[in-house]
Amino acid sequence: MAENIEAVLHNYWGFDEFLPLQREAMECVCGGRDSIVVLPTGGGKSLCFQAPALLLPHLTLVVSPLISLMKDQIDSLLECGVSAGRLDSTMSNPERNEVFESLRTRRLKLLYVSPERLLIPGFLDFLKGHGISSVAIDEAHCVSMWGHDFRPEYRQLSILREALPGIPIGAYTATATEQVRRDIAGQLRLDHPEILVGGFDRPNLIYRVRRRVNALKQIRELLDRHRGESGIIYCIRRADVDEMARALSSHGYRVAPYHAGMTDDDRKKSQDAFIEEEVDIIAATVAFGMGIDKSNVRYVIHAAMPKSLEHYQQESGRAGRDGLEAECHLFYSGADYLIWKRILEESEEQGAEIGIAKLGQMYRYCAGVTCRHNAILGYFGQQPAGQNCRACDICLGEVEGVADALTVAQKILSSVIRQGERFGADYTAGVLIGSREDRILANHHDQLSTYALLKDSSRSTVRDWIDQLTEQGCVERVGEYAVLRVTDKGRRMLKGQEQALLLEAAKKKLPKPVIEKDSWAGVDRELFEQLRRLRRKLAQQNSVPAYIVFSDATLRDLARKRPLVPAAFLGVSGIGMKKLEQYGEEVLSEIRRYCGAKADEI
């Protein structure tokens, strides 16, 4: 069976190696065992049930929460030569009839449906009549109320175990703590499932966190480094999305908005424009993303702090699904915490306490002074990947230790106490830098001995230091207005009995991350750009997104290996027999022309 899986993987998807835990997950399906598979975004979860489907005698039923996600995966499968279909409310009668005919004649290997459709009386019995070999539940964290995207209809999927005794059920997700995994197993009534949990680390993602000072200016600086590349900007509120999209559009960026306040038709237009690369940027709330399988997103920007590390790991993970380097930037402010806290209290009465606790963990991540990759791993209960990830602002040296950090910390802590521990972080930073704003003068805090003690630093820098001291347990935020209070540890620090670690942005020019240099090693960049243009033309001709024709990783490998004959073309990562048949002649001709022109130049 293992040899057969390897052959399927190579012939249909053009891959010669399994990603971590893929083989084990596939063997569970082929061996008739239930499983819970937790792999990071880009870790190849979908292949864990798609590849075995080609070896099983009957249908693989895939339960998926979003139409866009179904459509994306089916387009990819059809491009690889796999017979797959879906049933959803957007399809025309002829389209549905075609799927039913494929079911009747047993030609279909994978059928995607929503949980709502599956629960329609009689529908599951209808499918059973056509034979089911396995069931895959995608985005399975939706089953659990402890998950970050709980959906009540997913709870009812327990009917699958009763209706399909002996049929293996696989639950697949990118984000699930141990508590969520236990809940998934119980709610779906899985039979002693194999639990396969991959590493949550995404070493190709470069994490950076900065305090938000001038959001538009900071974001534009990033966008200008990624001209012509696909990216996502996440905002908290719908109004923020609309404003961001308007502002960026006015500066000439190709951007579209996406949020739940838009009509279904307008949301679809924005999503299609992004997938088909008519726009480079999507500005969105968290309503956007789960249904996107776009592999060539080169950056994800959070214009404000997300509400939990589960959300951040999921949203930032939409970058770099092809395994190539991608940047994840998070701009935050203390105001973000208060906005989310209010939203949680108003909209999630029962789960507000859990949500606020997770919000606090998210804020501590933003203010953290340790490796970003290791901080995320620690949150999910996994061991650090190493001492230096070489792919985050901390480990890349983009922030550096403050000289005489203890003295700086003592000035901040002293000011908090002298202000009577009745004011927040922004106010405290204003006192320390010597601000002449009315409220400081009205409180006579310009007369304090700590006034202007840090006048040579910016307000945002001092705010960062206050956050870092909070994360280190020297200061705490209390009450509705998050006023600062010095902890016992902070009072010991004032006496010099505790050490302080404070970081600030490095002033020197720094080298590029190793992952970025390695992924371009040996790649002919001029040929890569020509192949990108060819990919766009092929995508338009076949009415599919460009990244489904070839991923960026495949394009780079083509521009690295420069194959001239079909056998060499098949040796490129991500190219199987169907890709050779469909695109081989045009791509090889383009490479031959390019190599010939280069030879003539010599």
pLDDT value at residue 31? 94
pLDDT value at residue 291? 54
Runs of H (alpha helix) within 227-278? 238-250, 264-275
Compute the distance between CA of residue 77 and CA of residue 576 in angstroms, rounded to an integer.
Answer: 12
Q: Dump the DSSP string for 152-172.
A: HHHHGGGHHHHHSTTS-EEEE
Is residue 511 in a domain?
no
pLDDT value at residue 255? 97
Residue 546, H or E segment? helix 546-549
User: Of 370, 398, 426, which marks where a domain is finished?
Assistant: 398
User: Of 340, 371, 398, which marks where a domain is finished?
Assistant: 398
Please check whether residues 181 and 42 belong to one and the same domain.
yes
Please check whether residues 281 and 387 belong to one and the same domain.
yes
Is residue 479 in a domain?
yes
Say how far residue 473 (Cα) sits from the centre of its chain. 29
Q: What's this model's pTM, rounded to 2 decimal places?
A: 0.78
pLDDT value at residue 275? 87
Is residue 530 in a domain?
yes
Is residue 413 in a domain?
yes
Whether the per-residue pLDDT at 181 is higher than 70: the answer is yes
Whether the per-residue pLDDT at 349 is higher than 60: the answer is no
Kindly state the tokens that stand for 437: 């704003």
Report percent pLDDT > 90 for the chain: 65
User: Of 170, 197, 224, which marks where a domain is finished?
Assistant: 197
**Nearest to 73, CA basis, from 101, 98, 102, 48:** 48
pLDDT value at residue 148? 59
Compute the distance between CA of residue 590 and CA of residue 581 in angstroms, rounded to an integer.
Answer: 16
CATH code, 276: 3.40.50.300
pLDDT value at residue 146? 67
pLDDT tens digits, residue range 99-121?
999 999 999 999 999 999 998 99
Kindly state the tokens that stand for 149: 């995207």
pLDDT value at residue 40? 84
